[in-house]
A and B are shown apart, each in its own frame.
Chain A
Amino acid sequence: MVYGLFFVSGLAVGSLYALGGIGLVILRNSTGVLNFSYGAIAAASAMFAWQVTEWGLPGIVSWLSAVLVGAALSIFYGRFVAPALAWREPAVKAVATLGYMLILLGLIGLIWDDALRKIALPSDKIGVSLFGVRVTLTRIIAFAVSIGAVVGMVQYLRRSHTGLNMRALADNRDHAALLGIAIVKTETLAWGISGALAGFTGLIFGSLVRLEPTVITFMVIPATAAAICGRLRSLPMTLAGGLFIGVVESMLTLYRPGASLRTMAPFVIAALVILWMQRDQQLTFATDS
C-alpha cells in the first residue's frame, strides 16, 4: 500500500519532468537546439498568467495567456537569435540559450518582486484517490497532456507535411535547405510548439509545485535529464524517462538514507542512460554532418 502511495506520487511529479523533457526534445529534433531557457520561459509564462488573474480577467484568459506568452518568448528567440547561431556547434547553441535564460530570469525579477503568490486552478479542487494518494485533476491533466503531447507529436511528425519538414531539418539542415524546405518557417513553428508547451508546463508547475520563478526555471534540469533518457530524440523514451525519474525520486523517500539523495536521481539516471545508450560510441551531442 505504502509503495503504491509513493509510486502514484512519483508518477505525478514525473509527468511534470516528462512535460518539460518533451518540449525540449521537440525543439531539439527540429532545430538542433537544446533550449536551457525552457524553464525560464515556463516561469515567465506562469508569472504572466498570475498577472492576468490579478488584472481581474477570467481564468481561461489567464491560462491561455501562459501558453501564448510561452510561445511568444520562444518564437522571439527562435526567430531573432537562433538563426544567427544556426551554423554553430550544438554546444554553442545550447550555451547561448543559457544567456537567454539569465535575461528572462532578470526581467522576471525586475517586473515581479519576491512576494508570495499562487496560481489556483479549478482542477486543483477535483481529485480521485489512488493507493491512498489523492490525485487532483490538475495532476491528471499534466499526465494526460504529457502522453497526449507524445502521441500527437509523433503522429504530427510522421503524417503531416510540416512534420516531414521538421524531420528533414533534424536529419540534415543543409540537405533540407537544398531541398527547398522553408527552414525559418519550419523552425519558427517548432519554437512555437515548444514554447507553448513550456507555457503550459509553467502554469501547471506554478499551480502544483509553487509559483516561484527560480524553482520553475530550474525545473529544466530534471526535464533535461528526462530528455537525455530519450537521447534528445525519442519522445516516448523521454516520457518514460521523466516518469521513471519521478518514481525513483519518490521511492527513495521510503529509504531513509536515500532520502537526502533524491535530488541526485535525475542526474544519476541520465548518466546511466547515456552510458548504456552510448555502447555504440555515438555521441549524444554530435552533429550529423
Chain B
Amino acid sequence: MRFSANSFVAAIAYCFASLAMPALADDPSCGLGTEVMATGEPIKVGGINGNAPPGDFSGGTDAAAAYFSCVNAQGGVNGRPIEYIVENDQWNPELAGQVATKLVKDEGVVALVGNGSVVSMAVNADLYRDEGVMVMASGCAISECYESSNIVSSNQGPLPSGIGALTYAVEELGSEYAACIGFNIPNNGGWACDWMNKFMESKGLKGTSILMDPTAVDLNSVYLQALAEGVDTILLMLPAAPAIGLLKVAEEQGGRDLFKWVSPTPLYDPGVAEVLGDYWNDNLYINIELAPFGSEGADNKNWVAVMDAYGQDGDRRDTFSQSGYVSARFFVEALLKLDPNAIDRAAVTKAIQGISNAESDLLCKPYYVGDADRHMPNHAGRMVAYSGGAFNIVRDCYDIESSYLDPIRQQEAALGINQ
C-alpha cells in the first residue's frame, strides 16, 4: 500500500486529534480534526434505513450523516469528503432490494454505514456478499444481520441483549422460569426467544416462548398466557411500543409484583420514561447495548456534540443513533489509514475487515470485524433499572454466556481479541 505525504501528515494530525478528543468533549471532534473543509473528490458511501409505519430506524443513518458532515468539515478523509447517500426502504422488501441495488451497483458506493432496517438486511445480505461490499450497520434485529459475511453491526440486537437481561434476572432477581414474549417472526422473535430458552436450559432452569403477531390487539391474552404458564419472569422481546402496551395491560391487572420484568434494549428509549409512569419504579430492568445516553465517556459526549453541531432537527437520539455514530467513526478511522488516491470498494472492504481492537466508551468491549461468515462484535452490555422517570445502572459492563457465541469466540481468539 502506498501512502502519500499528505496522508502521512493527515495521519499525524488524526493521532493528535484522537488524543485531544476527551478534552474537547463539547466541541465535536471528527476524523482528522483539522477544521479545514474537505474539497477533494467525494467518496460515495451509502446507508439504508427503514422509516415508515410501524417504526423509525433512522437513528443510525442520522448519526452517521452528522458524523460524516463533521468529518468533511474537519479535513475529510485525507482531503476527500464523504458523500453520504441515504435511502429509506420503508419496510418494503421490493423497495429494499431496489435501493440497495441503486446504491451498490448504480452509485458504486464503497461501503454502507449506519444501516438500520430489518427488511433490507434480510433482502440484501446476498447482494452485499456477491458485490463484495461491507455494511457497517447500526440497527440490526434479525438473524441475517448477524449471520452474514458482509454485515457487521455495532448494536447487539435482541439475542445478546435479551440473554444479558435474562442473565441479570437469573443472577440478581432469582428467576427460574422465564417467558420470552416476542413477535411471531422466525428471524426475529422466534430466533431470539429460542436462544433465550436454550440459555435458561443451560442454567438448569425453564424458559418458554410466547409469540404474538406484530399487529396483535389482544395483549391481554398474551399477558394471561404468561400467567397461565406459571412463569416467574417476563422478558419483553418486543419493540418499545408493544412492550409499553403489554406493561399497561400488566398494570391494569396488577401484574407488577407477580413477575420479574426484564427487557432488552428497545425499552431504553428517552420516550419510555414519559409514558411509563411511577408504577414501574424499581420493577423494570433493561439491558442496554451501548453506554447510557448521559454517560460522561469522551466518545459519548462527542456523539452528543456531533449531533448538536451537525445533526438535523428531528434526528433521533437513541441507541441506534449512538450505534450509527460508532459505526461511522470506526469506518472513517479505517479509511484514514488508506491512501486517499486508492480508495475503492475492494480497498475499503479490506480496510473494514481489518478493523480490530477498536475502542469506544460507548461499547463495553473492543470492536472488530475480521473476514468471517458472521459478525457480532458487540455482545457485552449494561443493566439499568427504571426508576422515577430515569434509568439507573444496576450492573456495569458484563458479557453473556451462550453457545450461539461459540463461532464468534473462535473468531475473537483467532484475531487475538480479548473479549
A and B found bound together: yes
- Chain A residues packing against B (C-beta within 8 Å): 2, 5-6, 9-10, 12-13, 16-17, 105, 109, 113-118, 124, 127, 133-134, 136, 205, 209-210, 212-215, 218-219, 222, 246, 249-250, 253-254, 259-260, 262-263
A250 to B222, CA, bound (A): 9
* Size class of the contact patch on chain B: 35 or more
B177-221: which residues lie under 8 A (CB-CB) from chain A?
A: 184, 210-213, 215-221
Please state if A260 and B224 are interface contacts (CB–CB under 8 Å).
no
Contacts A116-B241, A116-B274 given; indicate if A105 touches B269 (C-beta within 8 A): no
Please state if A116 and B253 are interface contacts (CB–CB under 8 Å).
no
Distance to closest chain B CB from A249 (angstroms) = 5
Q: State which of A16, A17, A116, A249 has its C-beta within 8 Å of the C-beta of B221.
A: A249
Please state if A109 and B53 are interface contacts (CB–CB under 8 Å).
yes
Q: Is B174 interfacial (CB 8 A cutoff)?
A: no
Please state if B225 and A13 are interface contacts (CB–CB under 8 Å).
no
Contacts of A115 in B (CB 8 A): 271
**0/1 string, B366-407, CB within 8 A of A gives 1:** 000000000000000000000000000000000000000000
Distance to closest chain B CB from A138 (angstroms) = 9
Please state if A260 and B211 are interface contacts (CB–CB under 8 Å).
yes
Top-9 shortest CB links A-B: A116-B271, A210-B245, A114-B56, A214-B53, A263-B213, A253-B221, A9-B220, A118-B275, A13-B218
Contacts of A212 in B (CB 8 A): 54, 241-242
Please state if B314 and A113 are interface contacts (CB–CB under 8 Å).
yes
Please state if A124 and B252 are interface contacts (CB–CB under 8 Å).
yes
Please state if B217 and A133 are interface contacts (CB–CB under 8 Å).
no
A113 to B212, CA, bound (A): 25
Please state if A213 and B53 are interface contacts (CB–CB under 8 Å).
yes
Name 4 extra pairs, CB < 8 A, besides A116-B274, A253-B222, A262-B216.
Answer: A9-B221, A117-B275, A218-B215, A250-B224
- SS class, residues of chain A in contact with chain B: helix
Please state if A16 and B215 are interface contacts (CB–CB under 8 Å).
no
Please state if B244 and A210 are interface contacts (CB–CB under 8 Å).
yes
Q: Is B55 interfacial (CB 8 A cutoff)?
A: yes
Please state if A263 and B314 are interface contacts (CB–CB under 8 Å).
no
Contacts of A262 in B (CB 8 A): 212-213, 216, 218, 221
Please state if A6 and B314 are interface contacts (CB–CB under 8 Å).
no
**0/1 string, B239-257, CB within 8 A of A gives 1:** 0111011001000111000
Q: Is B36 interfacial (CB 8 A cutoff)?
A: no
Please state if A116 and B240 are interface contacts (CB–CB under 8 Å).
yes
Distance to closest chain B CB from A102 (angstroms) = 11
For residue A120, which residue of chain B has the nearest CB? B277
A6 to B274, CA, bound (A): 31
A271 to B225, CA, bound (A): 27
Contacts of A113 in B (CB 8 A): 56, 314
A231 to B226, CA, bound (A): 36
Please state if A114 and B53 are interface contacts (CB–CB under 8 Å).
yes
Q: State which of B210, B213, B217 has its C-beta within 8 Å of the C-beta of A13.
A: B217
Distance to closest chain B CB from A269 (angstroms) = 14
A212 to B222, CA, bound (A): 18
Distance to closest chain B CB from A6 (angstroms) = 6
For residue A265, which residue of chain B has the nearest CB? B218
Q: State which of A117, A118, A134, A214 has its C-beta within 8 Å of the C-beta of B248.
A: A118
Contacts A127-B252, A134-B252, A209-B245 given; indicate if A13 touches B269 (C-beta within 8 A): no
Contacts of B56 in A (CB 8 A): 113-114
Contacts of A12 in B (CB 8 A): 220
A-B contact pairs, 19 of them (CB 8 A): A2-B228, A9-B218, A16-B217, A114-B55, A116-B269, A117-B271, A118-B244, A134-B253, A210-B242, A210-B248, A219-B217, A250-B218, A250-B220, A250-B224, A253-B221, A253-B228, A254-B228, A262-B213, A262-B221
